[in-house]
Structure 1
Amino acid sequence: MLRVEEILRIASKGDGVTASGRFAWGAAPGDKLRIDGTLEWGPHHVTPPCRHFGQCGGCQLQQLDEESLTAFVEGRVANASAAQGLGAQRLAPPHLSPPSSRRRASLRAESSGGRIVIGFREAKSHRLVELEECHVLVPEMVALLGPLRKLLITMGKAAPAKKGRHGKVQPGKSAPRMAADIEMTLTDQGIDLGVKGLTAEGLAATEAMLDFAREHKLARLTMDGGYGFETVWEPQQVTVTLGQTKVPFPPGTFLQATLDGEAALVGAAQEWLTGASTVADLFSGLGTFAFALAGPQTRVLAAEAARDVHLACKAGADRAQLPVFSAHRDLFRNPLQPDELSKFEAVVLDPPRAGAREQVECIADSTVGRVVYIGCNPSSWSRDAARLIEAGFRLEELRPVGQFRWSTHVELASYFVRD
């Protein structure tokens, strides 16, 4: 057995792989893997910028230099295409979002040893890593973590004392364990903060939350104690700008992870669908693609299952007087049928990670000539893409997009044309 082996590539889950099939976490291409499992760093191995790397489960690839990180993103997409024999005519250079650019995050907050810990979980563990820094999130979110810890402590102290069966305060009882999910999104008005699993009990807790929202200039503060989001603070309607349209933003709604990543995906769709007079935007969400494509020469149908998101898209289109026609429709249970799709010159679809098997079957059976498929999971995308190829489409171009920097999560934009 070789005593030292070179790391040749990074596998889909982030481990380095040697020619003999040995795996090593935290490796980079060109590293040497010793027999005892330790690494000798090679030319592509860099010092991870974050002190939490290796413990926090948010990032897996901070040890890679820019060249290797770019190659990983490109390879994930190229391999998915090659595995299905899709025959892409062109593979564009990958787009990588820069550090400190992610504008939405889901964090966890828990009480631990008399303290409040806010952060991401460790890899393959339920243990939380308290974030003291983060090189992925936008600075506005990172700056909010410390004050948010103090707010949650204040809310715990302000909670009414627990009473016994006869209404008497029970002495010696410690405060209940606190656990909450934290959602943060950077919107047009600032940070939209949602706290799920916690309620403001009593006047003191409510006042503390209002003071916090005011002091930190939050766009909105919502709480969900188990019965849906309730707005605590929203001085003006919260919006996000899509294309050039301000669209209402319901709490917890999906948004592309970074502004530059969104621009890369939208720019691809605009370039590929130039001249299309009618477009169906499927799994449209708030209308990320619909508002960018709609104009004097292009009408867009935006189909979305979530009612509040559908209504927000409709409100944005009505306000901007754009030819975006919003349809409330569950495309998993009730996909657009071939005869409906055949009325459109082109289709854009941006489904969840599971892909869009049923909807793709209908597209394959329609007469639509152009399809832009935005994939957030190369595996499910390649399965759906193979069905389009079988139906007579050809894959004109693939554009890998790494919005989730230093993560193994890779996205793509793809363009199919029917001969």
Structure 2
Amino acid sequence: MQRITRLAAQGDGLTEQGSAVPLAAPGDTIDAAGEVRPGPHRAVPPCRHFPQCGGCQLQHVDDGAYADFLVDRVIAALHAQQIDTPAIRAPYLSPPRTRRRAALRAERQGRGVRLGFNEQASRQIVDLAECWILAPPLWALVAPLRTLLATLLPARSVGEVQMTLTDQGVDLRLAGVAAEGLAEAEALTRFAETHRLARIAVDAGHGAETRWEPQPVTVTLGGTAVGFPSGGFLQATADGEAALVAAVREGVGAARTVADLFAGLGTFALALPGRVLAAEGARDALLALKAAGAGRIVADHRDLFRRPYAPAELARFDAVVLDPPRAGAREQVARLAEAPGPRVVYVSCNPATFARDARMLLAGGRRLAWVQPVGQFRWSTHVELVGVFDSPAATPG
């Protein structure tokens, strides 16, 4: 008899002997015949599409096991870089049906359309009959979109649907569709009016073209309405965003000057106290932030991979916030490690690159004070976190 002790990085159960068992939960046991006997942390998956659908990997475990999995992912990444386990706070978990942005694939099959996420490790599309992660306004569009796409998708072709919930409603972006004639234009307009969309943009292969936007589309960040570019980035859930912002604000503390690097639309910059320098490489996002934060935020259009801030520039700030893409911020962190003074608050969607960059900061004299994991991609293996590094001057001893 073998016992499942924990979950591996891709969600498989691991036995005490290190064997991987798909769809096993911590506490399950494996008998001599290889049959899995449920333990105390096994949950009944709520969705009929689990485990085929690639949108979720961990519906078969309870919240306690899921939270432990998020912590284990962070610890494993740190240990891989020879970093001792810091104080890790209890993970925040977004509730079901709160995802406010999603990218689905659509496939024309005869007169019908399959619309949903890919199957696990496959390009086959799961035609969604239900979804336990999408927020209700997004889910409400799935069935009507099938009807619309049946008139827009060329035969035997595959398109993409991106939906984001904004202040004005759902921002819809369609790719791979044919919508050049009058009939198609009228169909898009009727769809937008009927479902009270904020915007429809169509990408036929040459970039997105807005087809419907009765008023400027915005998202509210830090209490400020910010113009939202078509296809722009927004945290996956509103409550997950709030958890990240709260951790960043706590990490920054009473800092009077803050540099927010990889600032995006200003998720953190607009919620921070004092004077803020916001640096971002995407021009449309930076222009939207600059317009929204005029007066208090200094916006700098800057590619931080090619042109990172120098140590002397960073040393002028009381705190530095980083929210890089999954690849991390190796080039910028290398300079930051040489800058004495500022406390560092690092937001990451990839524990592996976070740990790699953390090693440079620790080598420069900082201390990893605490880590806050956030699981806003409910039931997935995706982990986000906020790590707070004390400045060398504040490090004990």
Could you tell me which residue of structure 1 aligns to residue 65 of structure 2?
A: 68
Amino acid at match of 2:109: S
Does the alignment pair 1:225 with 2:201?
no
Counterpart in the other structure of 1:137? 134
- Give the structure-1-normalised TM-score: 0.91
Report SS of the residue matched to 2:140: helix
Shift of 1:195: 0.3
Aligned to 2:362: 389
Is residue 287 of structure 2 the alignment partner of residue 311 of structure 1?
yes
Normalised by the size of structure 2, how large is the TM-score? 0.96
Matched, 1:326 2:299: yes
CA distance in 1, matches of 2:51, 2:320: 41
The 3-state SS of whatever aligns with 1:408 is coil
Separation in 2, partners of 1:414, 1:127: 37
Tell me how far apart the structure 1 counterparts of residues 232 and 309 of structure 2 sit (CA, whole Å): 23
* Counterpart residue type for residue 326 of structure 2: R
Matches of 1:38 and 1:126 in 2, distance apart? 30
Cα deviations by residue, 1:238-276 (Å, 9 ceiling, x for unpaired): 000010110000011111111111111111111121221
Asked whether the 8 Å contact 1:10–1:17 carries over to 2, the reply is yes
Q: 1:85 Cα shift? A: 3.9
Percent of pairs with identical residues: 54
Q: Distance in 2 between matches of 1:21 and 1:78?
A: 18
Q: Which amino acid aligns with 1:333?
A: R
Is 1:371 equivalent to 2:344 in the alignment?
A: yes
**RMSD (Å), alpha carbons:** 1.3
Q: Is the 8 A contact 1:278 1:300 kept in 2?
A: yes
Note the residue ranges of structure 2 that are not aligned, 5 or more in a row.
Answer: 393-397
Q: CA deviation at 1:204?
A: 1.0
Alpha-carbon separation, structure 2, partners of 1:153 and 1:118 = 11
The amino acid that maps onto 2:6 is: R
Partners of 2:33 and 2:286 in 1: CA distance: 56
Tell me what 1:82 maps to.
Answer: 79
Q: CA deviation at 1:112?
A: 2.2
Letter of the 1:60 partner, please give it.
Q
Q: Which residue of 2 aligns with 1:176?
A: 155
Give the counterpart of 2:320 among 332, 344, 347.
Answer: 347
SS in 2 for 1:230: strand
Q: 1:88, 1:397 within 8 Å by CA — same for their partners in 2?
A: no
Q: How many pairs align?
A: 392
Amino acid at match of 1:51: R
By how many angstroms is 1:113 displaced?
4.2
Counterpart residue identity of residue 309, structure 1? A
Shift of 1:277: 1.1
Residues in 2 aligned to 1:261 and 1:314: alpha-carbon distance in whole angstroms: 24
Instruction: Determine which structure has more spread, i.e. the larger CA radius of gyration.
Output: 1
Q: Partner amino acid for 1:55?
A: Q
Q: Is the 8 A contact 1:122 1:128 kept in 2?
A: yes
Aligned to 2:395: none
Select the residue among 251, 255, 277 that pairs with 1:276. Answer: 255
Name the CA distance, whole Å, in 2 between partners of 1:35 and 1:371. 51
Structure 1 CA distance, aligned partners of 2:155 and 2:54?
27
C-alpha distance in 2 between matches for 1:255 and 1:200: 27
The one-letter code of the counterpart of 1:142 is W
| 1:194-209 correspondence runs (5 A) | 194-209=173-188
Alpha-carbon separation, structure 2, partners of 1:147 and 1:385:
46
Check conservation: 2:314, 2:342, Cα contact below 8 A. no
How far apart, in 1, do the equivalents of 2:111 and 2:33 lie?
A: 40
2:115 counterpart of 1:118: yes
Given that residues 111 and 150 in structure 2 are in contact (C-alpha distance below 8 angstroms), is that contact kept between their aligned partners in structure 1? no
Distance 1:337 1:131 in 2: 49
1:86 Cα deviation from its structure 2 partner? 3.1
Q: Which amino acid aligns with 1:238?
A: V
